[in-house]
Amino acid sequence: MVDTMLDTIRQQGLRVTPVVKTLVNYLYSSRTVNSAIELKAVLIHKLGYTIPDSTIYRSCERLVACGIFHTTFFNNGITGYFICREMSNREHQHFICRYCHCVQEIHVSLKDCFGTSVESCIDGRLEQSRILFEGVCSSCEK
Ligand SMILES: [Zn+2]
Ligand SMILES: [Zn+2]
């Protein structure tokens, strides 16, 4: 799956640098939301050298533009990045635990749930929608 993502990145004309590869691998396996500062610590640990903040932000933004990374905001307003593990698959949403910051794919169709009411509000046609669900995951709830 990670290889498919790296192919997508290449197809979009983005270079798969060690930074990009490490970011994708890390967020794919950690299944968590991370700030650029947290990602910097991961990169330094994995690559063994320091990376300028601008490189990290630029790489993350490019991964967002490719549709591989998604963003959310932590309570302090800082951007958090996470990976969509089912890029090309059927419609799904993401759930984020506000305690451990884990990400889960949620398979609900927003069009089935809200389609009719949204379309009656806009008097038009709903084509796609995205909701980020937040709450407490099962492990943190215990
Ligand atoms: Zn996803
Ligand atoms: Zn949790």
Reported as a single tens digit per residue, the pLDDT across 129-139 is 888 999 999 99
What does the DSSP 8-state code read for residue 69? E
Does residue 122 carry a pLDDT above 80?
Answer: yes
Query: Looking at the CA of 32, which ligand is closest?
Result: 2
Confidence band, pLDDT 50/70/90 cuts, at residue 109: confident
Asked if 1-85 and 90-142 have one fold, the answer is no
Ligand 1 mean position to 130 CA, how many Å? 11
Looking at this protein, which amino acid is placed at residue 111?
K
| Residue among 96, 42, 50 at smallest CA distance from 73 | 96
Reported as a single tens digit per residue, the pLDDT across 24-52 is 999 999 999 999 999 999 999 999 999 99
Class (C level, CATH) for 90-142:
alpha beta
Reported as a single tens digit per residue, the pLDDT across 66-106 is 889 999 998 889 999 999 988 766 788 999 999 999 999 99
pLDDT, position 28: 96
Give 8: exposed, middle or buried? Use CB within 10 Å, 0-12, 13-18, 19+. middle
* Domain at 1-85: CATH code: 1.10.10.10
Query: Looking at the CA of 89, which ligand is closest?
Result: 1
Query: Looking at the CA of 105, which ligand is closest?
Result: 1
| Residue among 87, 91, 90 at smallest CA distance from 114 | 91
Q: Where exactly are the structural domains of the chain?
A: 1-85, 90-142
**Which residue, chain included where needed, has tokens 């984020």?**
96
Query: Looking at the CA of 140, which ligand is closest?
Result: 2
Ligand 2 mean position to 32 CA, how many Å? 10
d(CA 40, CA 56): 7
pLDDT, position 90: 74
- Average pLDDT of the chain is 92
d(CA 43, CA 26): 9
Ligand 2 mean position to 10 CA, how many Å? 33
| Neighbour tally for 74: CB within 10 Å | 14
Ligand 1 mean position to 86 CA, how many Å? 5
What does the DSSP 8-state code read for residue 41? H
